[in-house]
Structure 1
Amino acid sequence: MNFYTKKNILKQCIVEFFGTGLIIFFGTGCLLASKLTNIYLNSFEISFIWGLAVSISIYFSSSISGAHLNPAITIFFWLSCKIHKKKVLPYIISQIFGAFFFTMLIYFLYYRELVSFINHNNIIIGSQESLNLASIFCIYPNFNNSFIRNAIIEVFTAAFFMIILLQLNNKKNNKLLYNSSIRPILIGILVFMINLSISPINNISLNPARDLGPKIFLSLIGWGVFSFTGGSNNFLYFLIPAIGPIIGINLGGWTYKILMNNDFLKNKNINNI
């Protein structure tokens, strides 16, 4: 690998770091604002902010890194020969670290409010009572559902998301759409609609970095193993937001490739994903 290529990959990784981090910053920020301040945001508003954060992050990173912003999408493009294997691990590390760093940033911006809330409610970090607070940063599946039901919802939703995502990026589907700047907005709307539709029955991730980065951070500041288990006796629940999106994104991607029978995945210039 020559110097230029190394420099180019470094630039792409930096953009993936910031792009993924921006999603976490704005998404988690609105949850913290709603929980800890006098600003109350309902599910519609929170879902809208998450979707808008995705759109902004795609605009920020698409021209440089392709705006993967998601280890599951990076893995799919690697398996479908869309990116070089040498980019896979650097991209994934950048995405997870971006989620970690921007979780840390928003945590310390709201640190005074967090401490006040913890003291006022006599919450012990790492106890079951702290789950509601940890849920601001991380994804914990609905423990009232069975492991199988939660896993199916996560995988199905991720597959559904990927199929629509690929169709939105299919230049043969609509040349005007492909050449315009509206696709990031449509992808953000897609995230908004999925969150609003599915969140009442289960918390979903769609993105392993979105969950794993914050959980690593919380584990280092007092939550420990609780940040991964959420107090559940079934440790496998941790795998749902981490592994579920990888299975779902790849299932949806390959389903689209096989059933839609088009040349989209042969296109070498995939952006805004």
Structure 2
Amino acid sequence: MSTSDIILGEVVGTAMLILLGAGVCAAVTLKKSKAQNAGWLAIAFGWGFAVLTAAYISAGISGAHLNPAVTLGLAVQGNVPWDQVAVYIVSQTIGAILGATLAWAAYYGQFQAHMAELALRSGPGAQSTAEAQAAEAGPVLGIFSTAPEIRNTAQNLVTEIIATFVLVFAILTQGLNDAGNGLGVLGVLITSLVVVSIGLSLGGPTGYAINPARDLGPRIAHAILPIKGKGRSDWGYAWIPVVGPVIGGVLAGLLYNVALG
């Protein structure tokens, strides 16, 4: 696997993943969207189909990791050289920023309408949206990144570790593609269904990041995009959807080697 293949496949694939994943969150959240209030089922299946689409696009190029936790799990398992890990992770993060930016562009008018209504509701003399959100998430951050329903550091971290472990262990126990560094065709479909299952079963507490690039990249995009009244990017929480999935991915690789390797 060449460095250029990794960069191309992971940037394009992760951008597609986040475009469609953040897109379904925007569709469900924003005013003037035909899918507003479609609910958690729409989000869970939307993210599952996003994984399906992105993985099919990039599987033949880079192995379609699309997730630093998957890359680390495969490296621990022994199917990815450690000197390629950083290239994968940087490419995934760049792709995630790009995908989040494209989702914002696709829903630009809806973002404008949504934020204008929020500003109107605040009324003269009321606190600004950013001030009202204090040190926590702004009103549209959930379109970009995850946030817990109950802020409990230990529980939030454990939830992300468990959910990511399920994802990565499921991937490791499937057949790899001919290049030996990613899923085969059937594995892509199965993994997409696993993502839907995780969203429905384990996504409620934290919004199931299960992917450091999926959370960090869009959070960076949220911080830099010109969205008036967007509020804070909640950097105090941002380490949990990075560290939790990293731990979960590494644990999955270690258990695979002990039990099945």
User: Which interval holds the TM-score relative to the shorter structure?
Assistant: 0.7 to 0.9
Q: Give 1:269's aligned residue.
A: none
| Match status 1:38 vs 2:38 | no
Q: 1:127 to 1:169 in 2, by over 3 A?
A: farther
Matches within 5 A, 1:1-273: 8-36=2-30, 37-40=33-36, 41-122=38-119, 124=128, 126-129=130-133, 131-142=138-149, 144-169=150-175, 181-221=185-225, 226-229=232-235, 235=236, 237-260=237-260, 262=261
Letter in 2 for 1:108: A
CA shift for structure 1 position 128? 4.2
Q: Following TM superposition, where does structure 1 have runs of at least 4 consecutive aligned residues deviating by more than 6 angstroms?
A: none
Q: Take 2:25 and 2:152, find their aligned partners in 1: how far apart are those partners?
A: 26
CA-CA distance at 1:47 after TM superposition: 0.7
Higher helix share: 1
The percentage of aligned residue pairs carrying the same residue is: 27
User: Alpha-carbon deviation of 1:42?
Assistant: 2.1
Could you list the runs of 5+ residues in structure 2 that have no partner in the other structure?
123-127
Taking the aligned partners of 1:182 and 1:57, their CA distance within structure 2 comes to: 14
**Could you say what secondary structure the match of 2:69 adopts?**
helix
1:64-97: CA deviation from partner (whole Å, max 9, x where unpaired): 2111111122233334443233322221111001
Say if 1:151 and 1:244, in contact at 8 Å, map to a contact too: yes
CA RMSD of aligned residues (A): 2.5
- 2:125 aligned residue: none
Name the aligned partner's letter for residue 17 of structure 1.
Answer: V
Distance in 2, matches of 1:32 and 1:22, equals: 15
Superposition TM-score, scaled by structure 2 size: 0.84
CA distance in 2: counterparts of 1:115 and 1:201, whole angstroms = 29
What TM-score, normalized by structure 1, do the two folds share?
0.80
Distance in 1 (CA, whole Å) between partners of 2:230 and 2:83 is: 32
Aligned residues: 242
Structure-2 change in CA distance of 1:170 and 1:259 (3 Å): farther
